[in-house]
Chains A and B, each alone.
Chain A
Amino acid sequence: MVPEQQQLHSIGQATWRRDGQAKVTGAEEYVSDITLPRMWHARVLRSPYAHARIVHVDTSYAEALGAVCLTHADIPKIRYNERIVSTPPHLYRDRYVLADKARHVGEAIAAVAAPTEAAAEQALRALRVEYEVLETITDPEVAMWDGTEPIYTNVQLGDQELSIEHNIAVQRTIELGDIEHGFANSAVILEREFATSRIYHAQMETKGVVCRPESDGGITVWPTAQSIHNVRQLLGEIYSLPLHKINVKRVPIGGTFGSSIQMNSVIPICVGLTLKSGKTIKLVTTREEDMYDHVRYPSRIRLKLGATKDGLLTAGHMHALSDIGAHNTQAFAFLSVLSGWWASLYKLPAMKFEGKAVYTNKTPSCAMQGFGNPQATFAVESLMDDLADALGIDPVEFRLRNYVGLGGTFWGQGPSVQSIVLSDGVPELLEKGMEKIGWPGRPVSGSQTGRYRRGIGMARGFHTSGAGAPKPGEVIDYSGAFIKVNEDGTVDVVHALMDHGGGTLDAIAKIVAEELGIPSDRIGISPADTLTTVYDVVTHATRGVYAGGGAAHKAARKVKAILLDYASRVLGIETNALVIEPDETLGQGVIYCPSFPERRITVGALAKLCQTNSWGSIAAVESLRQVNCPPAYVAYFVEVEVDTETGSVRTVRAVIGSDCGTVVNPDLAVGQLEGGLSKGLGYALVEDNSWEQESGRLLSKGFWVDGKTPAMSESPLLEDIDTFFADSYEPSGPFGAKGIGEAATNPCAAAYGNALYNALGIRFTELPITPERIVASMVAAESGATKAVLV
């Protein structure tokens, strides 16, 4: 709840995004729109084999055509981890700019650059590569067998060599309390195995990069990226360039869903070509290349939960196996967060997590919206419904008895990032959600007959807001902002934060406007690059508004103090007797003393006076690490209708409640929830990625034709999506705000699973729940094959 004395003029107002017009009209310039003088074009040769030694790359024909070629022989022999969000000792480094060995179909083997796209394409086809094809390993279980071909013999962990045994990239065991004791004191114990799929991010924009050599030996880079600073640091490390000679520009991004949290693989390739050729080079990937570039971490989760007859959880045991594909981008972090989301969903007096991440010859996994959370929540929230059923307790009531709320410990990014929950809208979300969906009137599970059957299900969850915590952990998390007041009272905000399309930078402007008492249309967001901004780790972990906004808020407070200081000099009033408020008539901020309202000056007049009197600039730069990671809670209630003849599922209604603390921009916040539903229902019902066992190729061949995401026609009508926000205030957030984006999708698949259980009386444990799987499960259920394991 917003403290009563706080009268907000900017936060909480539905306003247009400042980049909205450019995006809608097509004026916005993405990487693929960038054209520079004398620019060359690059293409990447990618392995057609899932697992092969590279015997020889012959570039002579391509070079004879006038192309510049880059192979493994040309690049610095430095192994790197493309996602430098974990602290250095926890970075698993297993990749080179161009591969020493093909470990998945689509792996970059060599690259060419030529004056035109057509010439580059021709040169690409003139490259000759000799491969020695090795056994393709697509199954993570097979990967761990004795005698299976090793995908790696060793990688680098931090600065140390680490030998890889049985293709296991990383293992993690986390144990708290005595689970044997906990299970022994349980009235009911349920155990099930769940599987979630390796879906493609399906962001609108593929990856691109433009690199220009500078006359001082430096480079300027325009990449598709979520973190310009991390891209710069990695390029400096790989190519031994001093950081002040690398300028990485922030370019608007066409969505990411996490797929650019790492430095995209084409960025150092393009830089390598530029450094070798001295040319300005542009490299943009096709959709087919992109679909072979990254997927969500899949999971096989065996989950066991126990509860007393009063409906209190006693203990939990989770085994998790993830098929990470050909590179370890962040498997250590993935296992950490998987355990963390689970530990933070419900209070477990004793828990044991055993996780394994295994290499296979498939597209590498990377973070995707929710990073481990949709996977963990699907398993936990499905089993919670079954437990409630077994105990004869209403599923919502069962959750209220056990959830981690106010005063509880929340793991924002695995075991090393923990803080105490300070704001909790869960009871309100569940109560209102039940009322809106008509919870008491839902059918008895499995009681229906007939062709069309309806069901109502719910699931709850959250995402963290940032990865900050009181103690330093395994994760880097801080932001910085530079704010200056211009000579007419407008404001420039210089912030390295990336906006993925959700309006994060617009929220930053609103936070600054609120603090400064200046109308938000007088706040500008400056273009950003690494030469002129201070460090921001990356836009991920739903940290943009909470952590990036927190830093901007801190800088704005300092700017405000400077403003008031100068105003005090002009008005002859003590600094702390002055306030700044937006004046609608004047259209700008006005500084005045409430006791002497005639003593007033506009921010514009003051700023001009500061300049003409040569007092100096009104500006501040601040850096902030948030020392909390507040959970942004979400509750889903969905009603589905199943056509039992075809297995098709229609979403009749969806109710989504969010506790994101103070709502910064209601329209955009609703958009986040609707978008979360769209991605979530795709994960639940539609999206899948399968690999041919022999060849390691995608069955969809890397095309949209068979790599499906839901279309508008799969989505419920807007009037059937009911979104609402809890009355909540996060004391540690800027004006009470916390995150929303990833939270918006996390419980969605579980809610669908529970709604389908309600409609059909069948528990689905594997995603996606396709029509075909529904039909097959109904046939199996009729023969009595699926029953919960009751101990």
Chain B
Amino acid sequence: MLPQTDYVKASSVAHALDMLHQYGTGAAILAGGTDLIVDMRERRREPTMLVDISSVEELAEIDVGTGNIRIGAGVTVAGLAGSAIVQHQLPLVTEVTRHFADYLTRNRATIGGNLANASPGADLVPPLLALNASVVLATAQGERTVDLNDFLVGPRRTLLLWNELVRAIHIPTPVPRGQAYEKLGLRTGGAIAVVSCAVSMDQAGGECRRVRIGLGAVAPRAFRSSEAEQIMEGHMFSSDIAARAAEAAANSSQPISDVRGSAEYRHAMVRALVERALHAAYERSSEPQE
């Protein structure tokens, strides 16, 4: 059973921020609740006030801005999956939504919640890292924008302050055309990642450009393997170079052994998955512009 708590349904971002300010560290933001409610049942978190932002419309928008695509923090995973903008420009994100938990969870879980929860295995993080996303954080006083890479500090730790709300995610455009995602779980659906990896890249005449490799579930937080990226960057694509980059990615990971897999297996799977994703991303980057 859930611990008893107060509850307010926020009508706007300003209202939510006001509530956060008023209740301080006892308040928790409730969006989809797919992490928070589980934590509350397990008594890992016992907030005294739930601020429900699931009906705040200004958080549920996806639009194309100048130089970026802006995704409201309250957009659900199902919302991402159904968005034409995402399908067209961010196929990597569309792909990850198909591997994200199950239909019921996708209908509730939000992009902002997935980032703010900062699970090392959060499904959306490696793709968003590969897309160079930044996070817009709001307080009653104003907003700040931080790189997603900086936003994530450690397992379940972020830069988010007690009075701040994740408001939106910005993805800079133009987005690299070559995008690929690989996830390995204990089963194919409804499973937490044992290893996940996302790659985005451009190419010019076979030369890899803007290569970004995001890895999940193999370190205290999802991260980009700059070692692997540097091996690819500016070089002609080949199976050999992809294998070397995959090896570097594996060596840059620091997996642990847990109920989902041993460190050794995870290390080997980073290599296999990154190699596969690099090939797929490169092939897609070769596709003609629509």
* CB closest residue in chain B, given A682: B187
User: B204 interface residue, CB < 8 Å from A?
Assistant: no
**Which of A121, A700, A714 sits near B187, CB closer than 8 Å?**
A714
B265 near A776 with CB under 8 A, answer yes
* CB closest residue in chain A, given B265: A772
**Which of B4, B186, B272 sits near A706, CB closer than 8 Å?**
B186
A714 near B188 with CB under 8 A, answer yes
Determine the chain B residues whose CB is within 8 A of the CB of A711 once the complex forms. Answer: 187-190
Q: How many residues of A contact B (CB 8 A)?
A: 23
**Which of B186, B259, B268 sits near A686, CB closer than 8 Å?**
B186
Q: How many residues of B contact A (CB 8 A)?
A: 22
A706 near B259 with CB under 8 A, answer yes
The proximity string for A residues 768-788 relative to B, scoring 1 for CB distances below 8 Å and 0 otherwise, is 001110011000000000000
A118 near B187 with CB under 8 A, answer no
Determine the chain B residues whose CB is within 8 A of the CB of A706 once the complex forms. Answer: 186, 192, 259-260
B260 near A686 with CB under 8 A, answer no
User: A705 interface residue, CB < 8 Å from B?
Assistant: yes
B269 near A646 with CB under 8 A, answer yes
A117 near B190 with CB under 8 A, answer no
- Give the distance to chain B from A287, nearest Cβ to Cβ, in Å: 11
What separation, in Å, do the CA atoms of A648 and B269 have in the docked complex?
11
Determine the chain A residues whose CB is within 8 A of the CB of B189 once the complex forms. Answer: 711-713
Determine the chain B residues whose CB is within 8 A of the CB of A710 once the complex forms. Answer: 187
A108-166: which residues lie under 8 A (CB-CB) from chain B? 117-118, 121
**Which of A121, A690, A708 sits near B186, CB closer than 8 Å?**
A708
B186 near A713 with CB under 8 A, answer no
What separation, in Å, do the CA atoms of A596 and B65 have in the docked complex?
91
User: B184 interface residue, CB < 8 Å from A?
Assistant: yes
**With A645-B272, A646-B272 known to touch, is A690 a contact of B259 (CB < 8 Å)?**
yes
User: B191 interface residue, CB < 8 Å from A?
Assistant: yes
B192 near A772 with CB under 8 A, answer no
A117 near B1 with CB under 8 A, answer yes
User: B261 interface residue, CB < 8 Å from A?
Assistant: yes
Which residue, A645, A690, A710, has most C-beta atoms of chain B within 10 A?
A: A645
What separation, in Å, do the CA atoms of A540 and B99 have in the docked complex?
38
What separation, in Å, do the CA atoms of A121 and B192 have in the docked complex?
30
What separation, in Å, do the CA atoms of A772 and B1 have in the docked complex?
36
B184 near A699 with CB under 8 A, answer no
The proximity string for A residues 694-722 relative to B, scoring 1 for CB distances below 8 Å and 0 otherwise, is 00000110000110101111100000000
What separation, in Å, do the CA atoms of A701 and B124 have in the docked complex?
24
B191 near A708 with CB under 8 A, answer yes
Determine the chain A residues whose CB is within 8 A of the CB of B261 once the complex forms. Answer: 772
User: B286 interface residue, CB < 8 Å from A?
Assistant: no
**Which of B1, B4, B259, B262 sits near A700, CB closer than 8 Å?**
B259
DSSP class of B's interface residues: helix, strand, loop or mixed? loop
* CB closest residue in chain B, given A714: B187
What separation, in Å, do the CA atoms of A770 and B262 have in the docked complex?
12
What separation, in Å, do the CA atoms of A186 and B171 have in the docked complex?
72
Determine the chain A residues whose CB is within 8 A of the CB of B265 once the complex forms. Answer: 771-772, 775-776
Determine the chain B residues whose CB is within 8 A of the CB of A646 once the complex forms. Answer: 184, 269, 272-273
- Give the distance to chain B from A112, nearest Cβ to Cβ, in Å: 13
What separation, in Å, do the CA atoms of A648 and B188 have in the docked complex?
10
What separation, in Å, do the CA atoms of A710 and B186 have in the docked complex?
9
The proximity string for A residues 644-684 relative to B, scoring 1 for CB distances below 8 Å and 0 otherwise, is 01101000000000000000000000000000000000000
**With A706-B259, A711-B189, A712-B189 known to touch, is A775 a contact of B1 (CB < 8 Å)?**
no
What separation, in Å, do the CA atoms of A700 and B261 have in the docked complex?
12
**With A645-B272, A690-B259, A772-B265 known to touch, is A708 a contact of B187 (CB < 8 Å)?**
yes
- Give the distance to chain B from A106, nearest Cβ to Cβ, in Å: 15
What separation, in Å, do the CA atoms of A700 and B262 have in the docked complex?
15
Determine the chain B residues whose CB is within 8 A of the CB of A118 once the complex forms. Answer: 1, 4
Determine the chain B residues whose CB is within 8 A of the CB of A775 once the complex forms. Answer: 265, 268
- Give the distance to chain B from A706, nearest Cβ to Cβ, in Å: 5
What separation, in Å, do the CA atoms of A699 and B259 have in the docked complex?
6
- Give the distance to chain B from A344, nearest Cβ to Cβ, in Å: 34
What separation, in Å, do the CA atoms of A377 and B269 have in the docked complex?
33
* CB closest residue in chain A, given B195: A646
What separation, in Å, do the CA atoms of A775 and B261 have in the docked complex?
12
Determine the chain A residues whose CB is within 8 A of the CB of B269 once the complex forms. Answer: 646
Determine the chain B residues whose CB is within 8 A of the CB of A771 once the complex forms. Answer: 184, 265
B246-290: which residues lie under 8 A (CB-CB) from chain A? 258-262, 264-265, 268-269, 272-273, 276
What separation, in Å, do the CA atoms of A713 and B273 have in the docked complex?
20
What separation, in Å, do the CA atoms of A686 and B186 have in the docked complex?
7
What separation, in Å, do the CA atoms of A772 and B276 have in the docked complex?
18
The proximity string for A residues 632-652 relative to B, scoring 1 for CB distances below 8 Å and 0 otherwise, is 000000000000011010000
What separation, in Å, do the CA atoms of A708 and B269 have in the docked complex?
20
What separation, in Å, do the CA atoms of A699 and B186 have in the docked complex?
14
What separation, in Å, do the CA atoms of A710 and B187 have in the docked complex?
7
* CB closest residue in chain B, given A686: B187
What separation, in Å, do the CA atoms of A574 and B272 have in the docked complex?
82
What separation, in Å, do the CA atoms of A690 and B262 have in the docked complex?
13
- Give the distance to chain B from A32, nearest Cβ to Cβ, in Å: 14
B1-30: which residues lie under 8 A (CB-CB) from chain A? 1, 4
Determine the chain A residues whose CB is within 8 A of the CB of B187 once the complex forms. Answer: 686, 708, 710-711, 713-714
* CB closest residue in chain A, given B101: A705
What separation, in Å, do the CA atoms of A741 and B273 have in the docked complex?
40
Determine the chain A residues whose CB is within 8 A of the CB of B262 once the complex forms. Answer: 772
What separation, in Å, do the CA atoms of A690 and B258 have in the docked complex?
11
- Give the distance to chain A from B183, nearest Cβ to Cβ, in Å: 11
What separation, in Å, do the CA atoms of A408 and B28 have in the docked complex?
68
The proximity string for B residues 168-199 relative to A, scoring 1 for CB distances below 8 Å and 0 otherwise, is 00000000000000001011111110000000
* CB closest residue in chain B, given A710: B187
Determine the chain B residues whose CB is within 8 A of the CB of A648 once the complex forms. Answer: 184
B158-176: which residues lie under 8 A (CB-CB) from chain A? none
What separation, in Å, do the CA atoms of A772 and B192 have in the docked complex?
16
Determine the chain A residues whose CB is within 8 A of the CB of B184 once the complex forms. Answer: 646, 648, 771
The proximity string for B residues 34-74 relative to A, scoring 1 for CB distances below 8 Å and 0 otherwise, is 00000000000000000000000000000000000000000
5 A-B residue pairs with Cβ-Cβ distance under 8 Å, sorted by A, are A117-B1, A645-B272, A686-B187, A711-B187, A711-B189
Name B residues whose Cβ lies closer than 8 Å to a Cβ of A. 1, 4, 184, 186-192, 258-262, 264-265, 268-269, 272-273, 276
Known: A686-B187, A713-B189, A775-B265. 8 other contacts (CB 8 A): A645-B272, A645-B276, A646-B273, A690-B259, A699-B258, A706-B260, A713-B187, A775-B268
Q: List the 4 shortest-distance A-B pairs measured between CB atoms, nearest first.
A: A699-B259, A713-B188, A121-B1, A645-B272
